[in-house]
Structure 1
């Protein structure tokens, strides 16, 4: 047994370059899964750790049902018998001069010691530091992560878009999220929030009794429930990330199949010799498995390392995406552990065993005389092709059933997508078989090498179909994901054109609220024909987080053209009378329809509201309830304005002067201003950064499939060395043999592209109409775009040509008499 195994393993040292290709292929498949999963889980773990650190020992938080808390609440908390400790908090964001955002906590250093003693412990022990923290508005404390990233220590200045701040000290932050602490009064002044709080963190004895005393208008939530609600907001995002990584592994299994098949083909004669010398069939199988597992072990270990490096690149993209779409998150980079290595090796070995199943069956069935014949060409078996096709058809039927049931459970949609990909992969051999004559004719137009190349692709389905299927899936991912992203972008542009029609937006994308007197001042400027005071706030509906927005219904009716599921701008009429309109995501999430009544918790208790209409919206997948400002003030008693849309008559000859006047008045108050074009560009910038992770996974899938094409061509080349030798002995030149090999690669690549046109477009429809709709509850309109298809074509050609280079080099390096010496 040891002699047989040594004979097999000795091959690995003799074919180092080919072994390197095999290892890289396995490593890429493992790295895709490790990188995506590790970055997603690290981000979620960093989020959980950040929440725990920020909560400290608080058991509950109290907020208004909508809007800020009046700081007069502190007097009530001081004498409440169920309050053990409390700390008022301002929780906002601050942009550094280099563009990155950090979280700012405004705290009372005396009250906060009972909730978060680790934050300020040791930094404010001296009287001098305490006095500076309380009296100097430009004094802050930063955590060690921010200090390390900015290379700023105690006594130095931190530059921000609000001016410089002097760093008083540095505190330890196990969560790794960049954090700035300042006195709560200074934070209120900085963000124009005097007299108000974002929340109060509490340690309570009896939460139920406390909540009943607080009465209506307040939302008392346990820290555990709050963390769970925030984690739920990320569930669809996390699910999509993990599905992407599994798709990459799916393509990787095809690659590993090619790797295993390559091992079988390259070792067939060695196996025959060993069998003729007395080695048993079981010894050959065990030795083959040893070689495959060794490749899986090393490839998995290498993949875990590459995946770890990939995760450190992706973690920033994941954090930025979460920050842009949900809430501020700056997760720490993943740390290496032996568990990552173990998972990588397990993935590599498991996928290698799975991929080697059919090649192993081929080796078991092979007779010694067959094996001694050398690397004979494996011809197509129509019976096997039909059986695989029937199985693929079954998977497609299963896919249809799962996709139809996906509205009831989003996981069924992903399962249906995987079943679809599996089904079309199994139909690839029959598709290649059906097109073999057309392919042979088409390539034959390029001469005899083309005719032979076309015949070889159709006659070696066990080798070519798997590589074509893997490459087709990768190209289909390129087309499907590209079409989905392009359609989403075009839908977003359409949405912005319907809703964002103001000339200027004051305070947009800022944590500084717009003063109400500024709103009244802008309304009085001659030439301003409309001002929309927009307020967006997170509320709770049926125990789930949603958003409420207040607007001026009359202004929007006159100056915008919302996209409605039914009706037109007449839908604003009932809104002006006290009704609400809801986003499509809210309607789908809670199964609400036009004419239904929803009940929201208001400042003075529950308030029933009639739904007037449903509109398309891409601001949040959790649902948005939009109402007129008068209704909002009546329900929530929150006069805060998040941003202000300013509309000016385009025919006004003094439009430029009016715009300048608004911008000047905003600058005097330190309020940021964006033009309509600037706001749209900013939103598209966020959109493009959001899909950076998706584009990364698409690129990885293409790299994996490239190795698959390379492996298939190498396998064909090894099987047909004697055939090549005979061709050359009969008068074929080396350039003709090289052309034959190149055309085989191009033929396989172009077949993959041809199939991906249908599969990729169907996959795009599944992603748009099923996965996104059920995951995020909004409609994306399909917009055909030539870019994903062009990218797929260019990728197919380049990858096919590059994959053929190594076999072509072998053609020129091996002499004909060496190739036919066994005849």
Structure 2
């Protein structure tokens, strides 16, 4: 066995280019998986640490949705309900004016109540002189480690933008939490006295929640019965779990795309190990004839694969950590745009990340090498000495592989059609890809034979030989075609999905942005929608050039585990103009204005299983009230879903005249630009509002959309890069392997130019075949991604839009990859004297 190992090492050292390409493939695959895993884990850990630090020892929280509740509930709980271990909270977000991209969480607390709930903040009430902190509305506390990192000292000022206004606050003290979880979780928190936070955030007399420590669930049930109807008592971790659940589909999508890159890398390892076995078949045959056992040959090949996998995995981990530094910014930006505010300062690899990368890299390598290793071990000595036996075996196995591939495709299609689980849907997509890859050898044989005559008619004998040559080296070419096909189909599938999503989103925007100008207060993701000034709508309606205005009211209603988004609109008519209906139509608006009825968005229906004809119980100040669902509307603003109600019924049940947005409809022929200026004047000099024409909102919305899918494009390019490296190695190996055959042609009179054309022709034929197979597979993948994956992940229905230019680009990419792969061996073989290769043949 020691001699066999020395033989393996000599082989690897003698084929450095082949080893380098194989290691590069697994390195890139592991790097992509590691980078995505680190980025996802970093964002997830930052959110969880923040949630844990701010939860402290609390077991439950009292909430009332986005509007909060009157602070009088707090003394009532202390006096009437005898609750002692509890603390009130007001929270919001502020942008740091001096540090671009930094968002602070403003946490307003009662310093004297914190010790009972949050150990990290419990020392505030015993910190000595609190007169400055309690007596001023501009004092904040910050974690000492963060202050030192930002070069801030006590007494320094920070400028914060809160709901459009720039406010100056002063650092009054430093927090030095002892627990690591508190030090990490409070990195982006500014602590204020609760009265100061109420003033800063514009929430006088209101609380966002009360955190409590309850003895058991019986105590929780008793308190739940005593609470007013408009508030809810929830487990302390319920809100964090709900937010993480919303982002889980996004993170799963990223992981699936990264594993696709590793899959292509495994194809490359399979290709490299197959080539290594093919090149040493004569050696293995002699060794078998001399008495070397099958098990020894099997262990040798697997040991070589494990060595390559280990080297590639270690390099992939290093590269993945570097890539993660860039990817984490894209991941957190998308989470901030769509779900909640989270700040990630960097990535910190853990033992889990390293173990996962090594396990996936080495595991994928061993799995990929298992087939060629088994083939090398089980072949009789005489067969290993014959290359013809290898190719004959490849042809014999092609129908069986195609049959297995067909079964895999059927199984994958069944999972996509039947299963509702998102993870199983991804398994179905992988089965589709693998099943099609298994059918590639048979497809290569059929295509090579079918196209040989047309290629000969167009390009003469070299064209015919090029087509036949691909099937003659089936054991090599099939792997190269399969790897490139999977990569190009991914380019097509993901590209069509993104284009379909964008086109559907743009169509929805065109239908929804029915007004000319939209007015709203500034805000940050995660903030409650700020109310507009009372009477503002009437002043704007009187502006010259305004035909009519419509208003919107947005709030979150508390439920047992999470909040539901409620949108109440005053459309000023009998039809639901500006909505696209999946179930129902515009005429239901007349009933919504007079009946206890609502609409739900498509993601809400998908998430909670409530659709047209069902009833929905909503918490009102007078208790829960049932509303009938009259229709389902398309909506692409949030995957959490929303309930839509007419403003008349909302005001009737909630006795609330607040509005959060105004839509202005201009009279025919009125220019939008001058109208916006008149609206600003009417709103008043002190009004901090966003006045946005519908065209600008459309542009900004599409910009956020494109930003959201940046991470998807990056992963697609990385996976394609892995595949291009793979096909480069496969076709390069195939061409170099036939050097002796080319030397015979040279000796028979073929010119250097003809040999070069023949080699390039074979590569281009393989590339064209891979591209031709990838286009229909990519379209099937696109349909699965748009109609199944996105529907189950986010609850959005998408129409498929295929851009012919994308298909042409994908085909061009396949041809370019094949051309690059064939260029070097064509040049080398054409320049090699035929006598040298023939001399090797004689030896």
SS of residue in 2 equivalent to 1:188: helix
Per-residue displacement from partner, 1:15-70 (whole Å, max 9, x unpaired)?
Answer: 33321111011112222222223322332232222211121222221122562212
Q: In the alignment, which residue of structure 2 is the partner of 1:330?
A: 343
208, 216, 222: which is aligned to 1:198?
208
Q: Is the 8 A contact 1:523 1:531 kept in 2?
A: yes
1:252 and 2:262 are equivalent in the alignment: no
Aligned-partner Cα distance in 1 for 2:386–2:632: 72
Q: Is the 8 A contact 1:66 1:638 kept in 2?
A: no
Change (3 A) 1:798 1:89: farther
Q: Pairwise mapping of residues 308-707 of structure 1 onto structure 2 (< 5 A)?
A: 308-369=321-382, 371=384, 378=391, 381-407=394-420, 409-441=421-453, 443-444=455-456, 445-446=458-459, 448-507=461-520, 510=523, 511=527, 512-540=530-558, 543=561, 545-554=563-572, 557=575, 560-578=577-595, 579-652=597-670, 656-664=673-681, 665=683, 668-707=686-725
Q: Is the 8 A contact 1:550 1:629 kept in 2?
A: yes
Aligned-partner Cα distance in 2 for 1:487–1:775: 16
Higher alpha-carbon deviation: 774-783 or 242-251? 242-251
Shift of 1:88: 2.7
Change (3 A) 1:540 1:743: farther
Q: In the alignment, which residue of structure 2 is the partner of 1:746?
A: 764
Change (3 A) 1:48 1:774: same
SS of residue in 2 equivalent to 1:529: strand
Q: In the alignment, which residue of structure 2 is the partner of 1:175?
A: 185
Aligned-partner Cα distance in 2 for 1:799–1:147: 52
Per-residue displacement from partner, 1:501-558 (whole Å, max 9, x unpaired)?
Answer: 2333222561443233434433444443333332333335575543211111426947
SS of residue in 2 equivalent to 1:435: helix
Shift of 1:443: 4.8
Change (3 A) 1:580 1:313: same
SS of residue in 1 equivalent to 2:665: strand
Per-residue displacement from partner, 1:643-692 (whole Å, max 9, x unpaired)?
Answer: 33233224347x65442132242652223333322222222222112212
Q: Structure 2, unaligned stretches of length 5 or more?
A: 177-182
Cα RMSD after superposing both structures: 2.9
Question: Could you state the TM-score of these two structures normalised by the residue count of structure 2?
Answer: 0.90
1:293 and 2:306 are equivalent in the alignment: yes
Q: In the alignment, which residue of structure 2 is the partner of 1:6?
A: 6
Aligned-partner Cα distance in 2 for 1:794–1:150: 50
SS of residue in 1 equivalent to 2:774: helix
Aligned-partner Cα distance in 1 for 2:3–2:685: 83
Change (3 A) 1:667 1:305: farther
SS of residue in 2 equivalent to 1:84: coil
1:737 and 2:755 are equivalent in the alignment: yes
93, 106, 109: which is aligned to 1:107?
109
Higher alpha-carbon deviation: 423-432 or 762-771? 423-432
Shift of 1:368: 4.1
Change (3 A) 1:700 1:780: same
Per-residue displacement from partner, 1:272-310 (whole Å, max 9, x unpaired)?
Answer: 454466544433332222211111111122222222333
Q: Pairwise mapping of residues 64-103 of structure 1 onto structure 2 (< 5 A)?
A: 64=64, 67-97=67-97, 98-103=100-105
Shift of 1:134: 3.7
Aligned-partner Cα distance in 2 for 1:370–1:814: 30
Aligned-partner Cα distance in 1 for 2:152–2:14: 54
Aligned-partner Cα distance in 2 for 1:145–1:421: 49
Aligned-partner Cα distance in 1 for 2:352–2:611: 49
Per-residue displacement from partner, 1:319-342 (whole Å, max 9, x unpaired)?
Answer: 222221111122343312344333
Question: Could you state the TM-score of these two structures normalised by the residue count of structure 1?
Answer: 0.92
Q: Is the 8 A contact 2:736 2:829 kept in 1?
A: no
Q: Structure 1, unaligned stretches of length 5 or more?
A: none
Q: In the alignment, which residue of structure 2 is the partner of 1:710?
A: 728
Higher alpha-carbon deviation: 713-722 or 159-168? 159-168
